[in-house]
A and B are shown apart, each in its own frame.
Chain A
Amino acid sequence: EAGVAQSPRYKIIEKRQSVAFWCNPISGHATLYWYQQILGQGPKLLIQFQNNGVVDDSQLPKDRFSAERLKGVDSTLKIQPAKLEDSAVYLCASSSLVAGGPDTQYFGPGTRLTVL
């Protein structure tokens, strides 16, 4: 079974530029999560989708971050414009009510963003 796919793996941009990350969850997983992991910290949930609807985006800085999950499959997270403090690893995860249960989230390898 293929895992959660993310791209790109690495991205370096200047502050005030825009950037987008892509995630493809495990096939059949209805729930998709985006996390931000700053160096030396644990992941922090940014947004959670159930199919193509948003369940929780309370921690998403909506003035600069946006995310969508059209058709309830893959998802895109965008930052516009980027700030220095956005430098982090962005993790995507998915889970299923059936396979492993809602408790078990499967993580992708992450995208490491460096903002200069």
Chain B
Amino acid sequence: GDSVTQMEGPVTLSEEAFLTINCTYTATGYPSLFWYVQYPGEGLQLLLKATKADDKGSNKGFEATYRKETTSFHLEKGSVQVSDSAVYFCALRARYKLIFGSGTRLLVRP
């Protein structure tokens, strides 16, 4: 069945470091791909999305490129801030259903 695999956390970085959170997926067809973020005490928020191969989603300095050949959608940011500390979820939309990875906690130290 359809699934999403994310790198395990926590990922701990110093402020201004480069961030990569790996995400790979298994799906039939051509799903849409998403990154959601969950800040402490808050609900999930859509961070970015891509709907077809080679699309790049971007928002708030974060980017991810839909790579069909490697079935990946890795999240990157060039310079993280303390305020980026949160849990990040990769997800795919197969037909009408969102399927989430297990989440990766990011801790950014000043």
Q: Which of the four size classes fits the interface of chain A? A: 20 to 34
A34 partner residues in chain B, CB cutoff 8 A: none
Number of residue pairs spanning A and B whose beta carbons lie under 8 angstroms apart: 49
B93 partner residues in chain A, CB cutoff 8 A: 103
Main secondary structure of the interface of B (DSSP, over half): strand
* Chain A binder among B42-50, B60-68, B74-82: B42-50
Asked whether, in the complex, the Cβ of B98 is within 8 Å of the Cβ of A109, the reply is no
In the assembled complex, B4 has its CB within 8 A of some CB on chain A: yes
**How far in angstroms is the closest Cβ of chain A from B89?**
5
**How far in angstroms is the closest Cβ of chain A from B38?**
9
B residues contacting the other copy or chain, number (CB 8 A): 22
Asked whether, in the complex, the Cβ of B43 is within 8 Å of the Cβ of A91, the reply is yes
Asked whether, in the complex, the Cβ of B103 is within 8 Å of the Cβ of A42, the reply is yes
Asked whether, in the complex, the Cβ of B98 is within 8 Å of the Cβ of A107, the reply is no
Cα(A110)–Cα(B98), bound, Å: 17
Asked whether, in the complex, the Cβ of B97 is within 8 Å of the Cβ of A56, the reply is yes
**How far in angstroms is the closest Cβ of chain A from B56?**
16
With A41-B103, A42-B89 in contact, is A107–B45 under 8 Å at CB? yes
Cα(A56)–Cα(B99), bound, Å: 14
B58 partner residues in chain A, CB cutoff 8 A: none
**Which residue on chain A has the smallest CB distance to residue B95?**
A56
* B interface, CB within 8 angstroms of A: 4, 32, 34, 36, 41-46, 49, 51, 89, 91, 93, 96-98, 100-103
* A interface, CB within 8 angstroms of B: 3-4, 33, 40-45, 48, 55-56, 91, 93, 102-110
* 17 chain-A/chain-B pairs, Cβ below 8 angstroms: A3-B43, A41-B102, A42-B4, A42-B89, A42-B91, A42-B102, A48-B96, A56-B96, A56-B97, A91-B43, A103-B32, A103-B34, A104-B49, A105-B98, A107-B36, A107-B43, A108-B43
